[in-house]
Structure 1
Amino acid sequence: MVKRKRTFSRFFDVRSAVFFEITIGISANTVLLLFHSLTFLLRHRPKPLDLTIAHLALIHLVMLVTMGFIAADTFEFQGWLDGLMCKLVIYMHRLMRSLSICTTCLLSVLQAITLSPRNSCLTKFKHKSSHHYPCCLVFLWVFNMILNTRFLVSIDATPNVTSHSLVFVTESCSQWPISYLFKYVFLSLVNIQDISFIGLMALSSGYMVSLLYRHKRQFQHLHSTYLSPKASPEEKATWSILQLMGFFMLMYISDCATFSSRATLWHNELISLCVQMLVGNAYATICPFVLMSTEKRMTECLTSMWKRL
């Protein structure tokens, strides 16, 4: 009896942490979205980087809102989602997860292009990026919307009958099995997309690290080694994006490891599900704080507001 109470108490604590993480993430992404949306609209020459950060904040905001619905239906046991709501909520959440990795990779590539010197082969993309960027976003949205249509087909409200082939997603929503052909086609496309974008992130991150290291060495040759170079806003933004890439890689690997180990390492299904949600939402929650740390105007405004409170 004591063991069951401890298990329930531990589950309640982890479940509360999930809702707390979602609330913090929604608030932070809302602030980041408003700031960069206004920056993009009010600038005479808006930068693709501002639009990318605003786009990423919007994706994470919708992703965390839908996760709030999923968590409420999973842990509160109310069973209030019908068939249409199940399809829309699960579909939007999976779509936002797919777009998150695409936009994160795009952010890394754009920063690498921005940081590249004049004699680099990436220089020609600096002017083209602003023209082709909207087309790239439209392509990513259309491709991922098509790629995730399998959830619109397979997700439905949980029926009253029991079936071994049924996969329970939440208390109200279940996933019906699809044919092996479509299953492997969709999984192959998803894996190819993830591997491609993670590979691009690794290449762009390595390129930015080499540029920053080269710039630091050149500065030390020109000035005394006792003087520490003052980082420019571009360098600060680059380091924050590099930290973001590293954190994304860590959370992506942890999410995959947590999902694969649920059946073997965890004895309590609800606690393992809570831990998986915590890991899966960590990037969307931490991301806005990393990006906000490089915005001097934003940090000053938030600090002054906090002092007034």
Structure 2
Amino acid sequence: MISKDIALGLLFLFQTGFGALGNSFLLGLYTITFFIGLRLRSIDLLLSHLTFVNDLVLLSKGITQTIAALGFNNFLDDVGCKLVFYLHRVARGLSLCTTCFLSGFQAITLSPRNSRWAELRARAPRYIILFCFLCWTFHLLTNCYILLYFRGLMGSKNNTDRNDLIYCSSTIDASFNVAVYVLIVFLPDILCVGIMVGTSGYMVFILYRHHQRVQYIHGNNLMLSSSPETRATQTILLLVSMFASFYCLNSILLFYMESQKSTSWLVHMSAFLAACFPACSPFVLIVHDAQVLNTLWLCGIE
């Protein structure tokens, strides 16, 4: 085994463990908060769902990717391969949908009382559970093709016409593969990313306009860097830029891998990019979300 395999394996192990720890911490915090009777925001249900699916994204591929990076390739049979890729694709889509709805929910919450979105403020929390159910149903159904066309390499002798994914392989021909990817992955992804970027830009505009009004009322003594509106804007921009950057890069790689013969380097790079946002997002929320810190303090008192 060469040193670069060990370094790559340790990188995946650190990314998976670090991200799973952060997401599990937040998920446990929301669960404890619910059971001890503290008041939860409506958005906390979305955040807890996001941390759960981010954990699935990390754990569904992180462990197997670590093993593969260390040089052990033929360790999954057909059932294991189908399960790993199916759970990962479902969780990846759920993470995008939840982030999209989270951005939209925040935009509705921040909208002025005289805007046309104000009517949705009271009704939006009622649709959270329904939205999560519809997202699960959609992604569980649309990713069923993985259960048909993905195979494990354990005991396999004939890999002709297979797209090698290091420890698994797909047997879909290129033309059918591209059509499936465009219809059930690429178009929904583009729609969700577009909604997320648009609503986030709308929130940035609202927060900036509100800051200008407050600054006009209080004069120049109000520091731009210390205002709550500015900190909220920076958090939104950070999350959106992180998600959009990692997700778009990974989507480009996946599209190329689905339509062409993939290499081990591309497989590892795609897995790493797919796990970057789930691994980093909980720590962004922990640092920038004051509600999380307040909940920690209250739980400590209880």
Q: Normalising to structure 2: TM-score of the pair?
A: 0.85
Written as runs of structure 1 = structure 2, the 5 A alignment for 1:288-307 is 288-296=282-290, 298-299=292-293
Partner of 2:222: 227
What is the Cα deviation at residue 236 of structure 1?
Answer: 4.2
SS in 2 for 1:117: coil
Structure 1 residues 199 and 142: alpha-carbon distance in aligned structure 2, compared to 1, 3 A threshold: same
Structure 2: segments with no counterpart, 5+ residues? 298-302
What is the Cα deviation at residue 82 of structure 1?
Answer: 2.2
Partner Cα separation in structure 2 for residue 236 and residue 39 of structure 1 = 25
CA contact (8 A) 1:14 1:275 kept: no
Partner Cα separation in structure 1 for residue 254 and residue 118 of structure 2 = 41
Written as runs of structure 1 = structure 2, the 5 A alignment for 1:76-87 is 76=70, 77=72, 79-87=74-82
Partner of 2:106: 111
Partner of 1:134: 129
Partner Cα separation in structure 2 for residue 107 and residue 51 of structure 1 = 10
Structure 1: segments with no counterpart, 5+ residues? 263-267, 304-309
Partner Cα separation in structure 1 for residue 37 and residue 199 of structure 2 = 27
The number of residue pairs the alignment matches comes to: 291
CA contact (8 A) 1:254 1:279 kept: yes
Q: Residue 166 of structure 2: which of 164, 170, 185 is its match?
A: 170
Q: Residue 25 of structure 2: which of 24, 31, 35 is its match?
A: 31
Q: Normalising to structure 1: TM-score of the pair?
A: 0.83
Query: Which range moved further: 62-71 or 221-230?
Result: 221-230
Q: Residue 15 of structure 2: which of 21, 26, 49 is its match?
A: 21
Partner of 1:285: 279
SS in 1 for 2:288: coil
SS in 2 for 1:217: helix
Letter in 1 for 2:227: A
Letter in 2 for 1:242: L
CA contact (8 A) 1:26 1:61 kept: yes
Q: Residue 10 of structure 1: which of 4, 26, 35 is its match?
A: 4
What is the Cα deviation at residue 39 of structure 1?
Answer: 3.3
Letter in 1 for 2:166: T
Written as runs of structure 1 = structure 2, the 5 A alignment for 1:45-60 is 46-60=40-54
Query: Which range moved further: 13-22 or 39-48?
Result: 39-48
Q: Residue 138 of structure 2: which of 143, 155, 160 is its match?
A: 143
CA contact (8 A) 1:11 1:270 kept: no
Structure 1 residues 115 and 297: alpha-carbon distance in aligned structure 2, compared to 1, 3 A threshold: closer
The CA RMSD measured in Å over matched residues stands at: 2.9
